[in-house]
Structures are given as C-alpha cells and as structure tokens.
C-alpha cells in the first residue's frame, strides 16, 4: 500500500557501493527503514542522497508492506528547509547526538503523532535558535514525557532525586538517589518553556553533570539504551 506522510530521518548508512539504508520516523506509522538503491551514484531521479542528512524533515511517498523488512521509497522531498541545522558546526554535532538518542529510544512501528509533532517542532526551534547551549538537556527531559518516563515533579522541592523511581524525595532509598548542585540545576528545567530553558545560566561543569544525570536516567528506564558516541565531542564543543 502506498502512503504519503511526513518523516524525520533518524539515521542513514551506506550499503555496498551505491546504496543507502535510511531509517525514518514517519508521522503515519512510526519507525520505517528504507533501502535506497543506487542513490549514492545516481545524479538523476527524484530522490537524492542529500535528502537523508540526519534529522532532515521530509514528505515521502512510500510502499509499506509492514512485514518487518526494508520498505520501498517512491519519492521524497524536503518538507522543512533548515537554515542552520546542517551548516553550523555546533548544531551539526548536536544533530549527531540527537540522532543517536532517537535511534536508541524510538523503536515502535506505530503512529505517535504527539511524539512526531514534538520532534518536528523541537528541530525547527533549534534551527532558528541563536542561544541553544541547554537544548539537549531540555530536549531529553521533554522527550522522556513522550516516551512514558517523565519524572514526577510534584515534590521537586525535596533534596533527593531518585533516578530509579523517577521522583523527588527527602531521604535515600537506593543507590540511585542523588542530591547536590547538579540536581538543583536539573530542577530549573521543570515547568518552563523553550525560551526560558535556553536562558538558564549553567557552568560547563553543571551542564555536563546534568546531561550525565539524564543519560543515566535514560539507561535506567530504557532497556538497551546506549550512551551516544558523539557525547565527548559535544561536551567539548559546549565547554
């Protein structure tokens, strides 16, 4: 069956000399993986390799057999033209980091319109943002809401954050209860919007510490979640 849908390129890898395997999060059916035959050598045709840069937003026409195999892409065009996301050096590194996060977290082959709209809107905000040093922290916290393990912030004033249970409390109950400067910095990201989050002033140690807390939080709540390989480069750029 042929589908026309919006899609975000989550990952792409070379296969053989001329082929590309692209994984996309589609608005209509969740994660889909496509075999793009000859795309790396072809200078003609509707579909181009440049369309499959990480986190590009496309409008695609595809045949989905829904049998767990590689799908067929009939047509693709840019749905949201980016201005800076693939040309700014720091944003490009951030795109790699986000791509790795999404590869480890989004696996379902089913429609999730709320998650799609969150990703699409977040990427557009990042593309237009001048101040985005806190973007990955705010993004990961908000993403956890769409993935079903957003922390319970009803008692955010309590000193300990129980990463295993995802709540704030006044005493230690397991080895994953943390308090201190990084937890206090993390608390500042609850209950605010994008602009406010980008305005939070953090030292390089605070930003790194909060990000590592969130990565541990993800590891505790998502089976098979892997720390992104691009993390070290990202930390260096933002420091």
36: tokens are: 């793009």
Rounded CA separation 206/193 (Å): 20
Residue 60 has pLDDT above 90, yes or no: yes
Predicted confidence (pLDDT) at residue 24 exceeds the cutoff of 70: yes
Q: Which of 3-7, 41-45, 213-217 ranks highest by mean pLDDT?
A: 213-217
Mean pLDDT over 151-166 rounds to 97
Helix axis angle, 204-221 to 89-105, nearest 10°:
20
What domains can be seen in the chain, in order of their start residue?
A: 2-80 (2.40.50.140), 89-238 (1.20.1440.120)
Instruction: Determine the pLDDT at residue 2.
Output: 80
What pLDDT shows up at residue 239? 60
What confidence tier does 65 reach under pLDDT thresholds 50, 70, 90? confident
Rounded Cα gap, residues 209 and 115, in angstroms: 26
C-alpha to C-alpha distance for 109 and 161, rounded to whole angstroms: 33
Residue 37 has phi, psi (to 5 degrees) of: -75, 130
Average pLDDT over residues 57-77: 88
- Tell me the average pLDDT across 33-57: 88
Residue 171 confidence (pLDDT): 96
What integer is the mean pLDDT of 204-222?
96
Question: Measuring CA to CA, which residue among 22, 132, 107 is closest to residue 72?
Answer: 22
Per-residue pLDDT, 56: 98
Residue-wise pLDDT for 117-135, tens only, equals 999 999 999 999 999 999 9
Whether the full predicted model's pTM is greater than 0.85, yes or no, is yes
pLDDT value of residue 238: 67
**pLDDT above 90 (res 45):** no
Percentage of the chain lying above the pLDDT 90 cut = 79
Mean pLDDT, the chain, rounded, equals 93
Q: Which helix (H) or strand (E) holds 167?
A: strand 167-169
pLDDT (mean) for 192-207: 95
Please check whether residue 160 is in contact with residue 178, taking contact to mean a CB–CB distance below 8 angstroms.
yes
Is pLDDT of 16 > 90? no
């Amino acid at each position: 069956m042929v589908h026309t849908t919006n899609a975000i390129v989550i990952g792409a890898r070379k296969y053989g000399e001329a082929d590309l395997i692209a994984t996309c999060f589609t608005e209509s059916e969740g994660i889909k993986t496509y075999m793009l035959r000859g795309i790396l050598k072809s200078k003609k045709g509707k579909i181009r390799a440049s369309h499959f840069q990480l986190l590009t937003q496309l409008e695609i026409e595809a045949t989905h057999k829904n049998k767990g195999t590689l799908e067929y892409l009939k047509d693709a065009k840019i749905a949201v033209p980016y201005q800076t996301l693939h040309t700014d050096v720091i944003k490009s590194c951030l795109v790699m980091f986000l791509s790795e996060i999404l590869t480890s977290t989004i696996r379902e082959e089913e429609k999730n319109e709320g998650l799609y709209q969150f990703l699409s809107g977040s990427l557009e905000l990042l593309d237009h943002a001048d101040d985005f040093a806190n973007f990955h922290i705010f993004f990961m916290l908000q993403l956890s809401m769409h993935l079903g393990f957003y922390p319970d912030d009803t008692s955010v004033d309590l000193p300990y954050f129980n990463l295993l249970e995802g709540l704030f409390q006044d005493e230690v109950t397991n080895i994953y209860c943390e308090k201190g400067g990084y937890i206090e910095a993390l608390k500042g990201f609850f209950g605010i919007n994008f602009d406010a989050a980008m305005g939070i002033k953090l030292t390089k140690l605070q930003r790194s510490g909060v990000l590592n807390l969130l990565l541990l939080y993800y590891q505790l709540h998502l089976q098979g979640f892997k720390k992104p390989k691009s993390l070290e480069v990202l930390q260096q750029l933002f420091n």
